[in-house]
Structure 1
Amino acid sequence: MTARPAGPLLLGVRHHGPGSARAIRAALDAARPQAVLIEGPPEGDALLPLAADEQMRPPVALLAHAVDDPGRAAFWPLAAFSPEWVAIRWALAHGVPVRFIDLPAAHSLAMAEEGEREPRPGQDAEPRPGQEAEPRPVPVDPIRVLAETAGYDDPERWWEDVVEHRVPGLPGAAATDPLAAFAALGEAMTALREVYGDGGHPRDAVREAYMRIQLRAARKEFGGAFAVVCGAWHVPALEARTTQTADRALLKGLPKVKAELTWVPWTHQRLARHSGYGAGIDSPGWYEHLFASPDRPVERWMTKVAGLLRDEDRFVSSAHVIEAVRLADTLAAMRGRPLAGLSETTDAVRAVMCEGSDVPLALVRDRLVVGVTLGEVPDTAPAVPLQRDLSRRQRTLRLKPEASERELELDLRKDTDAARSRLLHRLRLLGIDWGEPAAGRGSTGTFRESWRLHWEPELYVRVAEAGVWGTTVLSAATARAESDALAATALAEVTALAERCLLAGLTEALPVVMRVLADRAALDADVGHLADALPALARTLRYGDVRATDTAALGEVAAGLAERICVGLPPACTGLDADGAAALRRQVDGVHTAIGLLAGAVPVNADGLRARWRSVLHRLTARDTVAGVIRGRAARLLLDDGHLAQDEAARLMGLALSPGTPPADAAAWIEGFVGGAAGGGMLLVHDERLLALVDSWLTGVPAGTFTDVLPLLRRTFSAYEPGVRRTLGELVRRGPAAGTDPGTGPVPGREATAPGFGPVLDAARADAVVPVLRLLLGLDAPTGAAETSEHHEDRLGATG
């Protein structure tokens, strides 16, 4: 064994590396230092004892946020296979002092706000006159540089071969000095720092100056008998000979904010992300497996994969596992690797267990290679009051946060499900999107709700931000709703907020929202704004009884909005361009649905309200100055409700598609009448008169203008179901129904047929059913009376 250096033991590691973690444990066991110093924010020292708590289960992260601005936050994630986590647990288990020595979060959060505007040490913040700005260097990835130097094209594979697969305890790993690997890695980083300097990380100089100051303080307290666990890139800088004065000069004038820290659960998905707060490792699940399985890691991994695929009803036997292990070992030997790595095991799984398909392999990557693990922190960890209230409610309602996405079906008639719904709606109002409404058996406002739940670590930051509104979820959501109502400028925003307050059960916020709603509704004269606002009110009134909420005040406002829309809509539908007409058409649809919901739910005459709206639609269908898409839509709404006769609908279509109507206007009318996926195609299928009118008009469109109306027609008919389009194609191919002509009506001498059928018998299609009929009638029986067969033949002939 090599002699231990007299100074502090510098253990350079790769963050979140299982080989480094195992090597750290071996090195600490061999060196037995009197203290352990770790790269991390020193404000977290008071939180370190919680790492030994039984409830603490990694992955976890230190969350630091500015007290005055909780949205300004940073994470320091730690997994079970992180060298820093192993060092913390080792120190706590051996009763050794453990501390963080990196730049305080108070400075790093303040510096993060300044972004890349901060100059490098010794570099001017702004270029001098006549001088071009110095381009910022691309940050250096030291692992990639070392891998390329060694002839590897994949830095992950190089790191696995050199570090992860060559530590004591793994098959094929040589028994070496536990400190030798750190010395070799330190020498390599020293050579890289001589070539690349700060490697494109200018702030590292400030961080390393602070760490050197902490090392001097530790040397006075512990002598040289302490260990330092930090990123290998920093080791040369910590060994550098500098003065206390020079280091303090680098720290002078640093910006600072008041910061708070706590432990929060983390996820493997976040560890696998290369941006944001992620750690940028590709396979945290695989790394955790390597760390937890020092013996026979490949065999244990293949067993995990087999179990996952079996759970997904794929046939995987023990023979598959044995063959996959053999193939992985063979690939490793052919590639000159000390142990089968992730690439070899993945290739073996694809070939043996997935039959060459990448589809099940994607599941293996998501569930095992990356993993869906969500860590846990003890209840004694510091947290803002809002987070504590949320945690209590999650436990009471049995809504445990999970890293994997899952569906949740709620029945609002049940007390627990209703409480879950209110919690999720309150969190959404606070900007904490733990749950997203999803399409399911029900929709928002019915007795059933469907949610898609997915907890991410960033939501802890959103909770900290929302803490300014209150100490409980209910009080915070109420305060936020009242603030949003007073700040809203559009009527639709207030009506949508009223609906959200109802869904969230914010009875104390509703009076404020209703007062603002009444004021905005009285002052807003724009029919479009009123039309946007009414649907949310209608849904609120229609389903308010599900949550036992008093909606009388909403009913009065909704009735007033409906009356004003009926008065102002016809004039607003004239003089519109194509975009304006399309937007107003959607608003007409919304108002029509809303009035249908309002009838019987507001303190007015239901029949009178519906009659007023029908009168408005009739006026829209008869006005030539109204945009074609709106006229067509109004006619369709009346037809669907049974307030427009089929003959009248055909007459209106004939007028709209007459030769004197510009093709673009006629196409717009068609889009309004039969456009979209709301049954327009089936209407043409079952009413051949309307189809014949459309067909006759389309064939008469001049060639010069056909290309102008084609996009509109394509948009109209492309929304139909494939089966509807095929049926319409067959009807058009056969031509108009016998006995009629789209231009002149009934034709003497022609035999009329039912809509959708041709004028003559299709012999080929009729003959196709003869064998089935003979079988059903028993004509092919081996025995039977001749006269009975003859009788059946007569019946068959009559049927044909």
Structure 2
Amino acid sequence: MPGGHRVTESTRVRVFGIRHHGPGSARAVWRALAEFEPDTVLIEGPSDADPLAASAASDDLQPPVALLAYATGEPGTSAFWPFAAFSPEWQALRWAILHDADVRFCDLPAAQQLASGTEPGQDRPDPLVALAAAGGYDDFEQWWDTVVESGTPDDDHDHLADFDAITEAMAALREDTELDDHTARREAHMRQVLRATIKAGALKIAVVCGAMHAPALTGKLGPAAPDARLLKGVPKVKTSLTWVPWTHSRLASASGYGAGITSPGWYHHLFTQRQDTITRWLTRVARTLREHDLPVSSAHVIEATRLADTLAALRNRPLAGLAEVTEATRAVLCDGDDVLLEFVTRTLVVGEALGTVPDDTPTVPLDADLQATSKTLRLKRSAQNKALDLDLRKQLDLGRSRLLHRLRVLGISWGVPRTSDVRSTGTFRETWALQWEPELSVSLVEASRWGTTVESAAHALVLDRAGDRDATLAHVVDLLEEALLADLRDAIPDLLRSIDTAAALDHDVAHLMAALPTLIRTLRYGDVRGTDLSSLAHVADALLVRICAGLPAAMTGLDTDAADALRREVDAVHAALALRDDTASTQRWLDTLTVIADRDGVDRILTGRTVRLLRDMGRIDEQDTAVRVSRALSIGSEPAAKARWIDGFVGDGALLLIHDRALLTLIDRWVSGLHGQDFVDVLPVLRRTFGGFEATERATLGAILRGSAAVRTVTHVDVERGRRATAATALILGVRA
């Protein structure tokens, strides 16, 4: 038998060294297995996943999928072994099941790999670069794409000989390569599994593994003692394994996957489209571009195909590969536009597809509940980023909103809130961006310790966080808002008690002010979600009383940074009270602002702000406002203090100045009267104040002020200066004045 594969007189072993996730390798493995007809197939993968191999017989297990292994009790310690339709390992698994061959995994158990902290794919050997370079290619991706992936050997081709040649090439590369300890243990374990399989009576054994491991499993295996010593004492952890959906983008090397490939979408096309491969691919590209209203015709596809074939011929390659197709796409279909090419690469070359797993796949109860609830709410997991607009007046949309908010509480970001492009309908409208990421399977396992259903887990987690001794008032209030959005009604009484306790212990007025807007905002959800929030109004009232009692003293003696921060809190509380529209609360707040407006020792930005808020609410009239502005800008105060008063009063108030010409004139005269260093000192504050206005608002103010300046200029003409200016202009133009 060629290649020295005979192990005993009665047992034959063939080692098929493959490239992970290579469509050419996948096709060759299937044909080689059909030619060899083994009774046992060993596949590179965690050997403690053997009980899951039979799941590949289900039509509901559709790649891309991955074996997920996680440390029982510590789901954060986890690893994935991905499989695509074009993965040789997946095709070997399917062949063995369809042909009633025994199939098992032969790599180190996940229990040992998790304990070592080494993720699958991290030890991909670099010597493959040398093999590609020997073939005249820049990297082995291009070499393998041309030699194997894009090849189309006929049915009479000797696939066993191809794998023998690959093994010999890898053996030559390994001569100058020193194996790391982890790789050595992996290969020792593979040999031990192979020995056990032979001892169990297998007659024809096929081993499907990474090409670099093939020489270690070929020929005589030698004594088992050295391998046993190498594996002795290897640490392990208790591990749970299951199948989870995977995506093409997570197979890409750009995602950080160690054994990743650059073009999973392209490889899937190579594997599934054997006839007219290039033409069909470029047709897909053209269709995708046309879907985005880009002018691409059949003539473009024909020309791009010719260009790709011509480039392959110029480079002495039997078929056009991804490099040639990409260049043809850029030149013909994208008209040289690299932005369009990047779109094609992201959408098609990498591509996106989400696999599926059977409903009876072993999983944690929390995941099973999520799947059942998602099916009821007609929410389908998808790898594509899709917008979901919800109208909370509809029961289906309200249920979807509750589920997505509960998942966010658990740290499972299947949906992310976003700003809607649809015309808003107030608090009844929510918009989400939905995208299922494979890593969310691990998040589900991590969250399962809080409960067996999404609702119970979210409820337990919220109460646990609220009970943390380091939880601040603002944090507990945020938890209450999350609980209301997630409709965790049973948690609300406990959260309200936690808020009462935290508020009683927190004497910092700034902390109380930071919590109040969130409390008031949560009151808005009562009408939409049917939650009784009467007790929440009582908490908000009590919090406001404490704020109003302590705010005047808290505003005294602050430095600039602290005053700026407190100004933002004042604005937030004022806006929240306006949203609540409660007369008693509003009057209490305005009474407090009136005290602050006349109080000494308060930073001028705060007094200016309180005057502005009182004016906007009608507590002080226009005449009183003008007097206060005039007093603030009068002689006797430092220019910088005056500028801060103006910043507090005018900030975000361009319309106020546009419509109140008298107030604008007053400020304009003060600024115009500044001289020398005074103007330099106040300029940063004034720039911040007026720079916050919209461009159109600044332009309007400028036009108003220019008009006023024009009027003043007409009434005060300096004839002598005008005569000199006219003479100078005439001299420059070369005309007689």
Provide TM-score, normalisation by structure 2: 0.90
Amino acid at match of 2:5: P
Q: Deviations over 1:772-792 (max 9, x none)?
A: xxxxxxxxxxxxxxxxxxxxx
The answer on 1:499 being equivalent to 2:481 is yes
The answer on 1:47 being equivalent to 2:20 is no
Amino acid at match of 1:204: T
Q: Equivalent residue for 2:696?
A: 723
- Select 1:411's aligned residue among 387, 391, 394: 391
* Kept after mapping to 1: 8 A contact 2:46/2:106: yes
Say if 1:585 and 1:208 are closer, same or farther in 2 by CA, change over 3 A: same
Amino acid at match of 2:335: E
Q: Tell me the CA shift for residue 736 of structure 1.
A: 4.6
5 Å matches for 1:380-419? 380-419=360-399
Partner Cα separation in structure 2 for residue 138 and residue 293 of structure 1: 32
5+ residue gaps, structure 2: 8-12, 717-737
Partner Cα separation in structure 2 for residue 410 and residue 447 of structure 1: 8
- Select 1:319's aligned residue among 282, 290, 299: 299
With 620-629 and 478-487 compared, the bigger mean Cα shift is at 620-629
* Kept after mapping to 1: 8 A contact 2:150/2:270: no
5 Å matches for 1:700-779? 700-704=673-677, 709-736=682-709, 738=711
Q: Equivalent residue for 1:363?
A: 343
Partner Cα separation in structure 2 for residue 86 and residue 318 of structure 1: 35
Partner Cα separation in structure 2 for residue 443 and residue 264 of structure 1: 37
Q: Equivalent residue for 1:695?
A: 668
SS across alignment from 1:243: coil
Q: Tell me the CA shift for residue 472 of structure 1.
A: 0.7
Work out the number of aligned pairs and report it: 707
SS across alignment from 2:38: coil
Amino acid at match of 1:185: I
Q: Tell me the CA shift for residue 584 of structure 1.
A: 1.2
RMSD: 2.7
Q: Tell me the CA shift for residue 501 of structure 1.
A: 0.8
Q: Deviations over 1:564-616 (max 9, x none)?
A: 111111211122223222221111111112222334xxxxxx32321111122
Partner Cα separation in structure 2 for residue 197 and residue 269 of structure 1: 32
Q: Equivalent residue for 2:723?
A: none
- Select 1:538's aligned residue among 511, 515, 520: 520
SS across alignment from 1:77: strand
Q: Equivalent residue for 2:86?
A: 81
Q: Tell me the CA shift for residue 422 of structure 1.
A: 0.5
The answer on 1:612 being equivalent to 2:585 is no
Q: Tell me the CA shift for residue 681 of structure 1.
A: 2.6
Q: Tell me the CA shift for residue 403 of structure 1.
A: 0.6
The answer on 1:281 being equivalent to 2:261 is yes
Amino acid at match of 1:51: A
* Kept after mapping to 2: 8 A contact 1:22/1:167: no
Partner Cα separation in structure 1 for residue 96 and residue 426 of structure 2: 55
SS across alignment from 2:116: helix
Say if 1:209 and 1:650 are closer, same or farther in 2 by CA, change over 3 A: farther
Partner Cα separation in structure 1 for residue 425 and residue 417 of structure 2: 8
The answer on 1:162 being equivalent to 2:135 is no
* Kept after mapping to 1: 8 A contact 2:45/2:81: yes
Q: Which has the higher contact order (CA 8 A, sep 6+)?
A: 2
Partner Cα separation in structure 2 for residue 587 and residue 444 of structure 1: 28
Q: Equivalent residue for 2:64?
A: 59
Q: Deviations over 1:175-205 (max 9, x none)?
A: 642123322222222222221212xx43111
Partner Cα separation in structure 2 for residue 379 and residue 686 of structure 1: 66
Q: Equivalent residue for 1:229?
A: 208
Amino acid at match of 2:214: V
Amino acid at match of 1:518: D
Q: Equivalent residue for 1:130?
A: none
5 Å matches for 1:290-309? 290-309=270-289
- Select 2:631's aligned residue among 655, 661, 669: 655
With 272-281 and 484-493 compared, the bigger mean Cα shift is at 272-281
Partner Cα separation in structure 2 for residue 534 and residue 480 of structure 1: 23
Amino acid at match of 1:382: P
Partner Cα separation in structure 2 for residue 413 and residue 152 of structure 1: 61
Q: Equivalent residue for 2:575?
A: 593
Partner Cα separation in structure 2 for residue 692 and residue 343 of structure 1: 68
Partner Cα separation in structure 2 for residue 719 and residue 191 of structure 1: 68
Partner Cα separation in structure 2 for residue 337 and residue 717 of structure 1: 65
Provide TM-score, normalisation by structure 1: 0.84
Q: Equivalent residue for 1:463?
A: 444
Q: Tell me the CA shift for residue 619 of structure 1.
A: 2.6
- Select 1:429's aligned residue among 370, 390, 409: 409
5 Å matches for 1:374-385? 374-385=354-365
SS across alignment from 1:431: coil
Q: Tell me the CA shift for residue 644 of structure 1.
A: 3.5
Say if 1:716 and 1:279 are closer, same or farther in 2 by CA, change over 3 A: farther
Say if 1:598 and 1:374 are closer, same or farther in 2 by CA, change over 3 A: same
* Kept after mapping to 1: 8 A contact 2:43/2:208: yes
* Kept after mapping to 2: 8 A contact 1:688/1:737: no
* Kept after mapping to 2: 8 A contact 1:35/1:222: no
Q: Equivalent residue for 1:11?
A: 16
Q: Equivalent residue for 2:160?
A: 179
* Kept after mapping to 2: 8 A contact 1:84/1:229: yes
Q: Equivalent residue for 1:773?
A: none
Q: Tell me the CA shift for residue 12 of structure 1.
A: 1.1
Partner Cα separation in structure 2 for residue 114 and residue 343 of structure 1: 30
Partner Cα separation in structure 1 for residue 631 and residue 131 of structure 2: 79
Amino acid at match of 1:143: L
The answer on 1:206 being equivalent to 2:185 is yes
5+ residue gaps, structure 1: 116-136, 600-605, 742-746, 751-800
Say if 1:556 and 1:234 are closer, same or farther in 2 by CA, change over 3 A: same
